[in-house]
Structure 1
Amino acid sequence: MKAYLLLGVIACAITFLVTPLVRRISLALHVLTPVRGRDVHTVPTPRLGGIAMLSGLLGAFLIARQTPYFSQFYSDPQVWALIFGSLAIAVLGIIDDIYDLNWWTKLSGQVLIAAGIAWQGIQIVSFPIFGMTIPSTRMSILVTVLIIVVSTNAVNFVDGLDGLAAGITLIGAGAFFVYSYLLIRLTNAQSYASFAAMIGIVIVGVCLGFLTSNFHPAKIFMGDSGSMLLGLTTSCMFIVVTGQTDPASLGRSQFLPAAIPVLLPIAVMILPFLDMVMAVIRRLSRGQSPFKPDRQHLHHRLLKMGHSHRRAVLVMYLWAFFISLLAVSFLKLSPLGELLLACGGGVLCFLVTIAFLPGLRSDYFAASGPYPHHQRQKEDL
């Protein structure tokens, strides 16, 4: 565990230190996100934060190569597929941040990069449910490309408020790191080193280091270079661990934990996936491009309900944390405990979502007595 934590700290430190430098470069080059009708920020903001995130990720991976604990992974082409794929998707995002590419150009680049990663060995080969396998290499590559492209765009779609995409990805990657580490211990492996867990802790460190400058009010945005990088690396983390667990090695009573590699990615990324699916359906029903921006994402709806910028982000953090905790708890909790956690946590999240709405507070205080005007105007956070 110490080796993982050290790697996460390294990724966090590099990202934290490089971010101010990238911000200055963005300002000097005038690579700024303008204030548009769909945006919630009020001043043009630098948007090349993905460069800092890429620096943290690559720096951590290169340092990990020099450590005996993680160096064993670097003889596998999967590591280099992830490194070069991360570099390629970040470069695509940087070009888009600067020149604002057409959606079909960006999508084509995502497909090519995902295909290269799949071709180099990061593939969905089998599912740890009923021994299912994908019948051919061609089909495996196709499914892998689909997963990577969907995940890449899901994170991009949810990147609409300061700190939202980085925070949700941090929570999801953290949950998957815990799952991967616990699963190794559960199977009594001789070594606790796991490539999937290594990816997870690096993503956690990168997101944490970047959030110091990205949480509201953000000094810098991650841009498409950062959101696509997070989506790609997170999907690769899921793919690496999926199919590596044999249900028989865990015993019949551990069948459900063996199925979590399929269920957990869906669970921890449910908010970005749900937001993306709703956006695509909404836009296609209007005869618009599925990539045409609008102001009807989940975070926009929370703002319309009356939440402040920070509260809307924290509410989505809470939901992401609860769903991730629920998924990972399958490794330890009994069915009854899981049911109680689901019911209790769901009720708590619902109450937090609605309890601090300005309209409800105004109605309450109007009925219960005077409420100072300056306090009524003050945000909770």
Structure 2
Amino acid sequence: MAVNLAACVTAFLVSFLVLPVIIKYSHRKNLGDVPGRRKIHKKVTPSLGGIAIFLGFAMASMFWMDFSQWDSVRFVMASLVIVFIIGVRDDLVPFRALHKLLGQIVAVIILLFSGVHIASLFGFLGINEIPTAVGYTLTAFIIIVITNSFNLIDGLDGLAGSVGLIALIAFGVWFYFVGDFVFSLFSFSMAGGLLAFLVFNWEPSEIFMGDTGAMVIGMLLAIMAIHFMDVNNTLPESHPIKFSATIASAAAFIIVPLADTLRIILLRLSKGKSPFSPDKSHIHHAIMRLGVTHSRTAMILALVNASFILLSYLLRGFGDQIMLPLVIVISLALSIILDRLILRKLASKAA
């Protein structure tokens, strides 16, 4: 664990030192996110924070990881580099959505060479091993969904950073205790960069992570979730931190972006809109309609994410047949309660 903590500190220091430079450069060159109708911030804010996060992560990983271990993760790093380049380009000169998607698909194809892919449904609905073509397709779909889901919650000071930090630390600790030190190191390295970023991104934020940070972190979390399912499935039943509900537990680690994506799709479809049409129906928008501040909204959703991780750990003896419906029902119930509170608040104002 000492090496992981050292990597975390290294990433923190690198990112912490680079962020002020990026902020000053962005202001000098007028590079920033301009306020708009669907945006919460009120001033032009630099949006290249993801560069500092990625630099901290990459430098810490390269410095603290044994050279012999790089062979097993070189394709993982290559896929992250591709997404990083796409993100930087999009933050400077916006890409079309289709072009970003094609870039993500290229990154996923490279990632498949690393062996990170879904080869089983782990007994859910009685299905175990699945055909390779199906597994690759499912892997690509899940990675792209998680990557973009995390990008979607990056609309509030401190939110994506705090949710990502909790998920990364949880993955890092779990991988460490099951003996997967490479992915544990990756988790703690990215967590260190994110922690430094939060110093500058907490309300009132001086910089955003942009697509550069959101897509890289989202893809890394997707990789972590898939690798978690694979490793967890190989653990003996007697292992103290084996999760019987492999799929539900992986979802619990990143529940906030997944639940938010499910919520906005259902809400938009219920209104007869395209699920891809932008609006202010995200969870953080809804909570803020109740009069909650930026920072408290971020803390509430970070706490929700941590609570789902804890719940999955406490109920780790139950399988996916129980846990997956439970996670979905709780997520939908919380969303319905939130909408009811908003309607009640609007009704009281009208009265």
Structure 1 residues 263 and 196, CA gap change in structure 2 (3 angstroms): farther
- The CA deviation at 1:59 is 0.6
Query: Is the aligned partner of 1:46 residue 2:46?
Result: yes
Work out the CA distance in 2 between the residues paired with 1:155 and 1:92: 16
The structure 2 residue matched to 1:100, chosen from 94, 99, 113, is: 94
* Structure 1 residues 235 and 242: alpha-carbon distance in aligned structure 2, compared to 1, 3 A threshold: same
Partner of 2:257: 272
* 1:110–1:210 Cα change, 3 Å: same
| Residue aligning to 1:262 | 247
What's 2:130 paired with?
A: 134
- Going from structure 1 to structure 2, the CA distance change for 1:289 and 1:248 (only over 3 Å counts) comes to closer
Call closer, same or farther: CA 1:102–1:291 in 2, change over 3 Å. Answer: farther
State the 1:262 CA deviation: 2.4
Q: How does 1:218-257 map to 2 (within 5 A)?
A: 218-246=205-233, 249-251=236-238, 257=242
Are the structure 2 counterparts of residues 55 and 8 from structure 1 closer, same or farther at C-alpha, using a change threshold of 3 Å? same
1:169 and 2:164 equivalent? yes
Using structure 1 for the length normalisation, give the TM-score. Answer: 0.78
> In structure 1, what is the Cα distance between the partners aligned to 2:232 and 2:284?
36
Match of residue 217, structure 1, among 196, 200, 204: 204
Q: Who is 1:59 aligned against?
A: 59
Consecutive unaligned residues in structure 2, runs of 5 or more:
none
Where does structure 1 lack aligned partners over 5 or more consecutive residues? 185-191, 364-381
Are 1:157 and 2:152 counterparts? yes
Distance in 2 of aligned mates of 1:52 and 1:247: 36
**CA RMSD, 1 decimal:** 3.1
Measure the CA separation in 1 of the matches of 2:146 and 2:62.
Answer: 25
Q: 1:256 to 1:181 in 2, by over 3 A?
A: closer
Give yes or no for contact 2:156–2:284 (8 Å, CA) kept in 1.
yes
Counterparts in 2 of 1:310 and 1:265: CA distance versus 1, 3 Å: same
Q: Is 1:328 matched up with 2:313?
A: yes
Structure 2 match to 1:304: 289
8 Å CA contact 1:48–1:221 kept in 2: the answer is yes
Distance 1:144 1:159 in 2: 23
- 2:5 counterpart letter in structure 1: L
- Counterpart of 2:280, as a letter, is R
1:58-97 superposed Cα distances (whole Å, 9 cap, x missing partner): 11121123xxxx4442232xx1112111111011111111
Paired AA for residue 39 in structure 1: K
- Structure 1 contact 93–225 (Cα < 8 Å) conserved: yes
Map of 1:367 onto structure 2: none
Q: Secondary structure at the match of 1:306?
A: coil
Give the aligned length. Answer: 329
Identical aligned pairs, as a percentage?
Answer: 28
Superposed CA offset, 1:326-352 (max 9, x none): 22334699xxxx9xxx9xxx9xx99xx
AA paired with 2:11?
Answer: A
Taking a change above 3 Å as real, the CA distance of residues 128 and 71 of structure 1, as seen in their structure-2 partners, is farther
Deviates more, 1:224-233 or 1:109-118: 109-118
**Displacement over 6 Å in runs of 4+:** none
Instruction: Give the Cα separation in 1 of the matches to 2:240 and 2:225.
Output: 18
